[in-house]
Structure 1
Amino acid sequence: MRKKVSLFFVLLLSAMIVLAGCGSNDDSNAGSSDKDTFKVGLEAGYAPFNWTQNDDSNGAVKIAGTSEYAGGYDVEIAKKIADGLGKKLEIVKTEWDGLVPALTSGKIDAIIAGMSPTAERKKTIDFSDNYYKSNLVMVVKKGSKYEGATSIQDFKGAKVTAQLNTFHYSVIDQIEGVSKETAMDNFPAMRVALESGIIDGYVSERPEAVSASDANENFAMVEFEDGFETSEDDTAIAVGLEKDSELTDKINEILKGISEDERTEIMDAAIKTQPAAQ
């Protein structure tokens, strides 16, 4: 009887040790996975900064949890930052309005999505040094009376919009007598609205406007001699990070290593390789 009882306890103890070891390994691997991964949030719908495509051509990166890939200027910058950090890049496709909540809740480590470090956003999150700077322009229908505009005031009476929750939408108020239309969720929606005549134009940054006019022969980009009044932060683009993130200084150091010429080359390549539909 004693032998049977002893054997039972030996087997039970062995099983407990094995299970404990398995649990320990699982926890270690999970922690290592998070530690070694740089999770970047972007909407993948703002070409040439970021877009969605079906394969890994031109250096596109797999979007987590999907069969799709993300490419664009932001993705190339994210790749350089991930390499500099010694981490594996993971792209988390996130709607624009969900980017800041995703960051503050820990679902992503950074926002690299053509986001400007505005004073309002700085109340909630921190930003790296700038990794791009652009001018505001308007995208209109080719052949329309607005194509030859040289001043934003030439859009008096025009139906104009911009993306929801961006400073692009607020600067429309600088146009006297403009018909400020409801803000839209994303750029593909604005392009459809412009094509169908729902709007006469939308405010954008120059790279996206070049992208739009390249993708659709019916679109034209309007650059202004008398343009929108903006702050330095409004037209700059930076990496969004959690308040007091330990990554901020490291990322700034990596960004210093990317020259202006290289940044221009990356943007030019992004404009050239973007999918035609975006």
Structure 2
Amino acid sequence: MKKWLLLAIGLVIASMLAACGSSEETSGDEGEEKKVIKMATSADYPPFEYKDTTKGDDIIGFDIDLVNALADELGYKVEIQDLDFNSLVPALQAKQVDMVLAGMTPTEERKKNVDFTDVYYTAKHMIVSKKGSGIKTVEDLEGKTVGVQLGSIQEGEAEKIAEKTKIKIENRNRIPDIVQEIKAGRFEAAIIEDTVAKGYFEKDKDLEGFTMETGNEEEAGSAIAFQKDSKYTKEFNEALNKMKENGELEKLVLKWFGQDQKSE
């Protein structure tokens, strides 16, 4: 009798464990109310994505609000991972995540490895330096050490500058590290996206900068990245364009950047 009782209890426990396991393994299946989609970002890029440590450890920002709005529209639950920027495309290629929102520009090089939606925000590049540095033009960078984020489009911009002006390019994984190097005097300048740089100017009066003229307004446009031939690209792009048409995207732009994207 005891053997039968133990066997019955064992079968019940095994079935419960199997049910729990299948629930985790099938997250994202069509049969679930909220399908799980895994997203990666680099939470060092305010106001796109960052952590306000005075309020907690949650990642907040423009991209986070955007993905949550899109996920609500499409019926997904988003799981967010924080990675270094240069690890984001490899994470998609390795199928560790389904999508990336990180103020990422859809360059031709990146398009070889991942797919993108339409651009959802356009920004510009800015040369950032310590106040009083005397750096007012790109030519003033001659002989200087210039910092950029590893794997970013700004790294490519620095390489273009180096073709005409002698500069030393240094890269770091995170924007705060680059800013700290400027303040410590190890970098004379850095190339940072203008919306991100302006956030640092507001907090630190020892920094200043100017906007670069690249001649290509779409050069620093941000788009959502997916695995190659992902089933998600089309539906998220359609939802994104719906947000553009109904004004919801503009509301997010005004919330985080205080400007109307149509005027860009």
Alignment TM class, shorter chain as reference: 0.7 to 0.9
For 2:36, the equivalent position in structure 1 comes to: 37
Q: Deviations over 1:109-151 (max 9, x none)?
A: 21001111111111111111111111112112222211x43xx
> What root-mean-square deviation, in Å, do the aligned CA atoms of Structure 1 and Structure 2 show?
2.6
Is the contact made by 2:158 and 2:169 (CA closer than 8 Å) also made in structure 1? no
The one-letter amino acid of 1:125's match is: V
Q: Percent identity?
A: 27
Give the alignment partner of residue 232 of structure 2, picking from 240, 247, 270.
Answer: 247
Is the contact made by 1:174 and 1:228 (CA closer than 8 Å) also made in structure 2? no
**Any unmatched runs of 5+ in structure 2?**
30-34, 259-264
Shift of 1:69: 0.7
Q: Compare 114-123 and 21-30 and name the one that shifted more.
A: 21-30
Is the contact made by 1:211 and 1:271 (CA closer than 8 Å) also made in structure 2? no
User: Which residues of 2 match residues 20-169 of structure 1 at below 5 A?
Assistant: 21-35=15-29, 36-54=35-53, 68-146=57-135, 148-149=136-137, 152-169=138-155
**Any unmatched runs of 5+ in structure 1?**
1-6, 58-66, 273-278
* SS class of match (1:257): helix
Shift of 1:43: 1.3
- The answer on 1:222 being equivalent to 2:210 is yes
Q: Compare 16-25 and 134-143 and name the one that shifted more.
A: 16-25
For 1:60, the equivalent position in structure 2 comes to: none
Q: In 1, distance between residues paired with 2:190 and 2:60? A: 24
Q: In 2, distance between residues paired with 1:31 and 1:190? A: 40
For 1:238, the equivalent position in structure 2 comes to: 223
* SS class of match (2:154): helix
* SS class of match (2:44): coil
Shift of 1:219: 1.1
Shift of 1:177: 2.7
Shift of 1:268: 4.3
The one-letter amino acid of 1:198's match is: R
Q: In 1, distance between residues paired with 2:235 and 2:71? A: 11
Q: Deviations over 1:84-126 (max 9, x none)?
A: 2212222211111221222233322210011111111111111
